Structure 1
């Protein structure tokens, strides 16, 4: 199921996404984060019990403006969003961005296009690897395919999880229609799961010295064998995924990446991206759902107490 990519935003018939502005430098783009919703509610409110850390603050307010709902027809969506080539020092082959069309941007937002779109997903961790080097084998030949990932499952709370699953599936349909891009799903990813990921390395290009891309500041702790630093002339490690713990007052406290466990209930900010991958001797457009931010809302034990969650869909595979 989903993984991380830049494409058009859709919903299934009764699942409009709700959008609200997020703050980030507008030098190249300003993301607007979406909340998946039904006609009468929003996905965060569908989780059982008292999920104050999920619902606290913003989500309900975000849903009040009708323009923050994704159109429910393909025709309306074509007036609402567009897919454009991505430019910059970290751009990959065939990379594209999903942005709002200028007519969609509300004057109250005080931003100028291009504006990227991101969205929230809330759920339980089934598997996770957000270490700085991800699943890299330490061989340079495998640097292009090294990724960090989080796989999310319902924890048997399908009423809240399925609207997210269906919205992302519909998103993939429209992206495929417009660009031919397909998500590359791993055989190990369950059908009823959402997989989000991020590439570990960026390949340096000839113009990288003029416009150097951001990179992680590698230490012996982050790169124990110095293998990543040995290939730093050709490949840089992307900045660490921002990881947080949400406090009961709604504030997010920065925490180390290794503080997440299977069964934790989390909020992931996801950005769809399109890029090309060589398969069977040809460049093929691929859709990927990329992790922008990871927030722990409840630990596994706390989630079991608060939500009554089970672990039947959360094994260690």
Structure 2
């Protein structure tokens, strides 16, 4: 497992001591494109509320099961830069709501082996998406010195008079959004003014695992550059039509952030590892 490649047990999540042999096949990311095509697939959403998001990425169906599971991957690294506030980079205007995002950038902290293994996995996912939707690999590649994740702040309110489930979904989204509201954010009032068209998504789960096996909820301001974190990400395909063909853009959307070691804790470990015992003539 990639988590075991990090030094000093950094990648080990408290309370999760599972080994490779303990995991189900769907929990282990494939090493080859051939296996990846058997492990996950792209399908059109049964109901589309955002024309730029017609596709979803699912695990291949398991035997004797019709349940669909979205693909979610776990990544680890050191926080380089972030904006995880409730409204992210939103400018407070309704026209800015579609592009408003929260974001998190991870770096290797000098540990390239586990970090590059994760980038290689994300590259394979991008290749699968492009091959299936365009017939060829993406023209660009991910940078090797950082991993960029994001999460859309708002979701569009859809009204469908002939679809009660849609109305229920919108009502639930509005109720969940109330939980996400941060009244200390100066954009709180602005968000209320556009709530008929755009609602803030439920808050991004941020926490720290405890010895008891549960996670302690954390405020996003607790996180700092240099922290070592474990994140869960899903595959978000933005698809833009250009005549008969479309152009996909693959993004990796944040689902949760777990703080495994603070920057201070990491620095303490590094200091202890580099200290040389003082030898005196009395020894």
For the criterion TM > 0.5, the same-fold answer is yes
Q: 2:196 aligned with 1:242, yes or no?
A: no
Shift of 1:90: 5.3
Q: What root-mean-square deviation, in Å, do the aligned CA atoms of Structure 1 and Structure 2 show?
A: 3.2
SS at 2:19's partner residue? helix
User: 1:240 and 1:291 mapped to 2: Cα distance?
Assistant: 11
Shift of 1:151: 0.3
Q: 1:224 to 1:141 in 2, by over 3 A?
A: closer
Q: 2:253 aligned with 1:300, yes or no?
A: no
Contact kept, 8 Å, 2:156 with 2:197, in 1: the verdict is yes
Q: 2:152 aligned with 1:193, yes or no?
A: no
User: 2:71 and 2:120 mapped to 1: Cα distance?
Assistant: 18
Shift of 1:78: 3.3
Q: 2:205 aligned with 1:251, yes or no?
A: no
SS at 1:291's partner residue? strand
The one of 50, 57, 80 equivalent to 2:9 is 50
Shift of 1:249: 4.9
Larger radius of gyration: 2
Contact kept, 8 Å, 1:184 with 1:286, in 2: the verdict is no
Q: 1:219 to 1:89 in 2, by over 3 A?
A: farther
Q: 1:75 to 1:139 in 2, by over 3 A?
A: same
Aligned twin of 1:16: none
Aligned twin of 2:69: 115
The range that moved more, 243-252 or 190-199, is 243-252
The one of 78, 100, 114 equivalent to 2:37 is 78
Contact kept, 8 Å, 2:131 with 2:137, in 1: the verdict is no
Shift of 1:75: 4.2
TM-score by length of 2: 0.79
Aligned twin of 2:275: none
Aligned twin of 1:286: 249
Q: How does 1:6-17 map to 2 (within 5 A)?
A: none
Contact kept, 8 Å, 1:276 with 1:284, in 2: the verdict is yes
TM-superposition CA deviations, 1:206-265 (whole Å, max 9, x none): 225343152421352245450111111111111110110123455311111221111110
Q: 1:79 to 1:216 in 2, by over 3 A?
A: same
The one of 266, 278, 297 equivalent to 2:229 is 266
The range that moved more, 196-205 or 171-180, is 171-180
What runs of 5+ residues in structure 2 fail to find an aligned partner?
161-165, 273-283
SS at 1:276's partner residue? strand
Q: 2:88 aligned with 1:127, yes or no?
A: no
The one of 97, 101, 122 equivalent to 1:147 is 101
User: 1:297 and 1:76 mapped to 2: Cα distance?
Assistant: 30
Between Structure 1 and Structure 2, which shows a larger proportion of helix residues? 2
TM-superposition CA deviations, 1:169-218 (whole Å, max 9, x none): 12212211112399899xxx964211111011111122253431524213
SS at 1:49's partner residue? helix
The range that moved more, 300-309 or 160-169, is 300-309
User: 1:70 and 1:242 mapped to 2: Cα distance?
Assistant: 23
What runs of 5+ residues in structure 1 fail to find an aligned partner?
1-41, 310-317
TM-score by length of 1: 0.71
